[in-house]
Structure 1
Amino acid sequence: MIKNNTPKFALSLLHPRYWGTLILVGVMYLLSCLPYSWQLTMGKSIGRLAIKLMKKRRRTIERNLELCFPTMLAEDKQRLIAENIDNTGMGLFETGMAWFWSDERVNRHVTIVGLEQMEQLAKEGKGVLMVAVHSMNLELGARAFGIKMSGMGVYRPNSNPCFDYFQYLGRSRSNRTLIDRKDVKSMLHALKTGERVWYAPDHDYGRRRSTFAPLFAVEQACTTTGTSLLVDNTDCVIVPFTMVRDDKGHYTLTLRKAVEDFPKKDPDAAAAFINKIVEESIMAAPSQYMWLHRRFKTRPEGQECLYK
């Protein structure tokens, strides 16, 4: 059975210590009401301003691209960095869109490709592990899909209970519920009972339940073996998806063909297999990926840190 860990509203969330959070959420709501073209322009401007104040984040973006694409031309890399910074700022607005927009407004801005496959899998009662990557607009993609077919998202509860309440409320608006990323039993139960579970195995989650597998030009990237655990114990179907914003500001959520030949009962081979899917998903829109995350922070024993 899936645990019910839904954060509840309490008067304690109005305590002065949370006023900053309440103001942030209020601003996100107000910004989400603006015309989309305004949000797009403001998002890019905020991204450029924020990165000037967070120089370590810029260095992380640069280092990740250097590690993943060592042969990329310098001018191409600088262009990608600039676009990624713009999209990082836009991510704040896209989160507000996901949390606060009406279904009608979401549908107007997002096109979903490949929904028929998901409908067929639902008729067959198949559990589906929907493999995502941390693109800046991931939350908007989950919301758009949830309007058509509900699913369950895997997430990390925020240590700030006030923000966690609004995060949960926004993310579950068009989906059934969220599952704590540590709650493996609930994930397994959901997949065994034919549910759709959103899952993003592209970050470095540390040594626990992980192995080292190639990712782009990095031969040993710490990669979760959680995908193997879920697939091996439920016989679910893996469906990768991408969420991409085009130059005109329209989004396309593409549900790719269900994965075949996944290497079961072999976590190391499965991690390498999944990383190939991750690479393909990132390359659908590399400038819209969360490169500011220290993806390669965990190294094999005896190897130096790749970040300064």
Structure 2
Amino acid sequence: MVANPFVILEAVLKQSGYLLVVALLRLFAILPYPFVARLGSALGAALYTLPGRRRHIVQVNLRLCFPDMPAIERDALAKEHFRQVVRSYFERGIQWFGSARRVENLVQVESAIDLEDKNAPPTIFLGFHFVAIETGCLFYSLKMPAASLYTRMSDTRLCELARRQRGRFGAELIERSTSARQIVRLLQAGTPVMLAADMDHGVGNSVFAPFFGVPACTLTSVSRLARMGHARVVPFVTEVLPDFRGYRLRVFEPLSDFPSGNDADDACRTNAFLETQIMKIPAQYYWVHRRFKHRPAGMPGVY
């Protein structure tokens, strides 16, 4: 059986290759961006030819979400997604170790709100797991103090590296399991909080909401925190631009009448918003995640 390409990094760490990984990321941080991006894209295409669990997950997700898409098109989309994901791992070197100026020069911004408004109301920036999400979060932390929620990794050294480098421009990294009261205190103190709620973290504090017509276990934390912190919810998407021109951070208008008071309705609404954004850049959404890991009672597993 061929090794799962998406756990190669973890395997390297277990073989005492942590310093090598850091060295590679630092090397990628100083190499020309187009070269790093092309190298990662080429490796992603090569890895897609190998059988593995992550390729299977991507194919299942695409089959569920795009049942009417011809199989040959789904396969091409899956391959392009592998290109984008592996490329994003290589570009992590620039994001984690590149200079502030370099990060700024790679990002174009289209924002419906003033991102540097020091008198802004409590704000939750609602992100989604597109491959360039980290770039958008890092860029914003260059402009304003911010807090960002993260999920702890199994490897403690890699987790600490990610936490430290993601917060290197001043962002406060908060573990997802942290008390909601701490997050609310940050919101009320004027610190924007960046979070994403489009992954399956289990049925606790979640509802099943349609995602491309398929029931998806969806966190209700966005509604709950917005209600507790009297915060507006501002969606954002970071996309990879074509022709190796960097990234575009798109920040949208705050969601109107949100939270509505009905967490299930809110989850349906955020999933529907996400669907419209995915259709613009389908290969860049994080299909390697088991989005349908948990299923409603009576429905069989899909992976």
- TM-score normalised over the length of structure 1: 0.88
Is the counterpart of residue 275 in structure 1 residue 271 in structure 2? Answer: yes
**SS of residue paired to 1:304:** coil
Gap change, CA 1:17 and 1:254, over 3 Å in 2: closer
**1:236 aligned residue (226, 231, 256):** 231
When the two structures are aligned, how many residues end up with a matched partner?
A: 289
Residue pairs, 1:115-194, within 5 angstroms:
116-120=113-117, 122-124=118-120, 126-183=121-178, 184-194=180-190
Percent same amino acid among aligned pairs? Answer: 31
Q: Deviations over 1:184-230 (max 9, x none)?
A: 22222111222111111111111111111111121x21111111210
**SS of residue paired to 2:20:** helix
Q: Deviations over 1:99-122 (max 9, x none)?
A: 0111111121111111743334x3
- TM-score normalised over the length of structure 2: 0.89
CA RMSD across the alignment: 1.8
Inter-partner Cα distance in structure 2 for 1:177 and 1:196: 10
Q: 2:8 aligns to what?
A: none
State the AA in 2 paired with 1:141.
G
State the AA in 2 paired with 1:174.
F
Q: Deviations over 1:140-197 (max 9, x none)?
A: 1211121122311100122322112211111001233101101122222111222111
**SS of residue paired to 2:244:** coil
**1:51 aligned residue (48, 51, 65):** 48
Inter-partner Cα distance in structure 1 for 2:172 and 2:242: 33
Inter-partner Cα distance in structure 1 for 2:51 and 2:115: 41
Q: Deviations over 1:30-54 (max 9, x none)?
A: 1221111211111012212333445
**1:30 aligned residue (19, 27, 37):** 27
**1:70 aligned residue (67, 72, 85):** 67
**SS of residue paired to 2:300:** coil
Inter-partner Cα distance in structure 1 for 2:29 and 2:262: 45
Q: Greater shift after overlay, 292-301 or 181-190?
A: 181-190
Checking the alignment, whether the CA contact within 8 Å between 1:69 and 1:217 is kept in structure 2 is no
The alpha carbon displacement at 1:282 in A equals: 2.5
Q: Greater shift after overlay, 135-144 or 68-77?
A: 68-77
Is the counterpart of residue 222 in structure 1 residue 225 in structure 2? Answer: no
Inter-partner Cα distance in structure 2 for 1:290 and 1:140: 15
The alpha carbon displacement at 1:288 in A equals: 1.0
Q: Deviations over 1:246-305 (max 9, x none)?
A: 212221101111110224321111111111122233233211111011100101122110
**SS of residue paired to 2:131:** coil
Inter-partner Cα distance in structure 2 for 1:18 and 1:188: 41
Inter-partner Cα distance in structure 2 for 1:185 and 1:23: 39
**SS of residue paired to 1:270:** helix
Inter-partner Cα distance in structure 1 for 2:140 and 2:15: 31
Gap change, CA 1:159 and 1:77, over 3 Å in 2: closer
Inter-partner Cα distance in structure 2 for 1:154 and 1:54: 33
State the AA in 2 paired with 1:269.
D
Q: 2:287 aligns to what?
A: 291
Inter-partner Cα distance in structure 1 for 2:14 and 2:72: 45
State the AA in 1 paired with 2:210.
P
Q: Runs (4+) of structure 1 moved beyond 6 Å?
A: none
